[in-house]
A and B are shown apart, each in its own frame.
Chain A
């Protein structure tokens, strides 16, 4: 049997796995208006806890504890800090997903798309998810020390005026679309 023989089998196997993943119905996609508003909500929610998160990662606290406290206490602190790091990572991911959802909703309803922006977003998504998973596994395995946080406030600040305006229009269109869809449903039509 040649290499080509096995490569065709491998390729079809890969196709089937990807197809099974892509064709399954996602767990009830959120309506456009909800997807659009999510980014704003997340940013503000995480912003509220910023001082506590910063405190949890403060180096000074840990240095002080390492001099004064027992090993058991240090271990516990390290474990709890790791928990905070994981929660923070999850929050960053949530922010990213919310922004991505908003971008996709806008792209879906735009009459013209720029391939360059779409591919850039795809590349950023792949990079983010890869980095996120790597850090998560390293934290879970305990092979990475708890990191410091820098520039968090810049990232979690509110959305810009232009995005706010886009969200407003998107919300209005989504409401119109919702009404149209429900009226079509009432007439017994299956809406895409």
Chain B
């Protein structure tokens, strides 16, 4: 335990305090019913702090047993994070049935492709296997959040400020995690201690963002739009696409005439 310096202790204390505060806030405002997966994620994070504290106390900070404990618990935390992100996507898009069906397929495909790619291009030593797996997961989470927001923007769907802020916290933390592991992989010995501090600092920043997002009570149900009849889309969508294509062809002609003249 002596290997951990005072600053790291303080940072850890602050992290536990904010994590606990967020749990209390979720329960007090009854937002745990609105975001159950996010609540589970925060709870697991909180429990992980105590499990790690106990393992450092028993086996020491740099012992292989503590390392195994840290990565073992991290697996469950990362899965809970992924579920929290899935729930955020569901909350915003599920009320638009057609959009949600399309988005679900697209987001799952994105997740699979990014996960496979990030594992394929990672440097393949066994030593880095756990780090690479974590980086792959975090990159996947970041990509899914990014695609979700691109999707939402493309279709002009409104997102609650609280949901948006939660997603911002999750996205920024995932991005930072990927960078942190990438630096660690490149310069393992110089960066090992700083890696821990940077990771904790990023998580503290995310906790602050989430506390701010969930300060107010969120409505359990959201506005349900009334859907159009089935055949409207089937008949109108191809026709609009044809018109868009005609406008495109006209523009191509515009460009072609310019080329011919110049």
Task: Mark A residues whose CB is within 8 Å of B.
Answer: 1-2, 4-5, 7-9, 11-12, 15-16, 18-19, 22-23, 26, 29, 35, 89, 92, 95-96, 99-115, 117-118, 120-122, 124-125, 127-128, 131-132, 134-135, 138, 143-145, 147-148, 150-152, 154-155, 160, 162-163, 166, 169-170, 173, 176-177, 180-181, 184, 189-192
Contacts and interface: CB of A to CB of B under 8 A. Distances in A.
Given A104-B155, A109-B96, A155 B247 contact: yes
Given A108-B96, A151-B253, A155-B250, A5 B186 contact: yes
B102 A108 contact: no
B241 A162 contact: no
Given A104-B156, A135-B258, A113 B146 contact: no
Contacts of A122: 154
A82 B124 CA distance: 58
A94 to B, nearest CB: 11
Nearest to A167: B236
Nearest to B254: A147
Contacts of A184: 223
A169 to B, nearest CB: 6
B145 to A, nearest CB: 8
A128 B248 contact: yes
Given A23-B168, A104-B154, A108-B155, A173 B226 contact: yes
A111 B155 contact: no
Contacts of A170: 228, 232
Nearest to A3: B121
B227 A110 contact: yes
Contacts, number: 217
B6 interface: no
Contact of A8 (B102, B178, B222, B232): B178
B239 A160 contact: yes
Contacts of A26: 153, 156
Contact of A100 (B98, B168, B244, B246): B244
A107 B93 CA distance: 13
Instruction: Give the dominant DSSP class at B's interface.
Output: helix
A109 B228 contact: yes
B102 A4 contact: no
Contact of A144 (B154, B223, B247, B262): B262
A-B residue pairs, 8 tightest by C-beta: A191-B223, A110-B233, A22-B149, A113-B98, A192-B222, A8-B182, A166-B236, A110-B98
Interface residues of B, number: 75
B111 to A, nearest CB: 14
Given A110-B227, A176-B226, A177-B223, 15 more contacts: A19-B171, A100-B244, A106-B228, A111-B98, A114-B234, A120-B241, A122-B154, A131-B248, A135-B254, A138-B258, A148-B257, A169-B228, A173-B226, A189-B219, A191-B223
Given A5-B182, A135-B255, A99 B240 contact: yes
A163 B240 contact: yes
B62 interface: no
Interface of B: 92, 95-99, 101-102, 105, 121-123, 139, 142-143, 145-146, 149-150, 152-160, 164, 167-168, 171, 175, 178-179, 182, 185-186, 218-219, 221-223, 225-230, 232-241, 243-248, 250-255, 257-258, 261-262
Contact of B261 (A117, A128, A145, A151): A145
A120 B122 CA distance: 34
27 contacts: A4-B121, A11-B139, A15-B142, A19-B149, A23-B164, A92-B250, A109-B227, A109-B228, A112-B233, A115-B105, A117-B241, A124-B248, A131-B248, A135-B251, A135-B255, A147-B257, A155-B247, A162-B236, A163-B239, A163-B240, A166-B236, A169-B228, A170-B228, A170-B232, A177-B225, A189-B223, A190-B160
